[in-house]
Amino acid sequence: MIAGKIQHAYAAGLPPAMAQALAQALAANPAQKAPGSYVLQEEKLLMNVMQFATQHAQEKCAELHRDYIDIQILLEGKEQIRYGVAGSERECGEWHKEEDYQLCKYIEAEQVLLMEPGMFAVFMPGEPHKPGCFAEKAGEIKKVVLKLHRSALQA
């Protein structure tokens, strides 16, 4: 997991492909877009704009991906993202190959990241994460989740 503020993304040490994906998504002005999915580079970079109410962490499952890197950007509100290192996911359900995700009941040695507007967090394939958890109390958030195919790092 890598985290930072958008205006200081260079300080996070992002590989060029991730930095370019972040810049391309921000250039698309996601704060002005309606919730939905947008293709930025066919099969390589997808942008999901989301708006929803945060929930208590115990009400949510962790998610895991194999092919896509998640770059999560918080636009409005506050959220906690619970996460763990690769291999810390427990009690996982079936793998959804087409959508590239698996849900897991919990994360061993779970860590907590408090996200505020203007922050981003990167989760590599195999790193379990549970976004959309409320910080102090439930509230509405707007965020962008970029899906960058792992092959972009091999280019």
Q: What is the mean pLDDT of residues 126-131?
A: 98
Please choose, from the candidates 133, 143, 145, the residue with its C-alpha nearest in 3D space to the C-alpha of residue 80. 133
Please give the model's pTM, rounded to 2 decimal places. Answer: 0.95
E strands, 12-133, are: 36-41, 45-53, 62-64, 68-76, 79-83, 89-96, 101-107, 111-115, 119-123, 129-133
| Best CA proximity match to 144, nearest among 109, 124, 119 | 119
Tokens 């895991």 label which residue?
Answer: 64
% of the chain at pLDDT higher than 90 = 92
pLDDT of 11-65, one tens digit each? Answer: 899 999 999 999 999 999 999 999 999 999 888 999 999 999 999 999 999 999 9
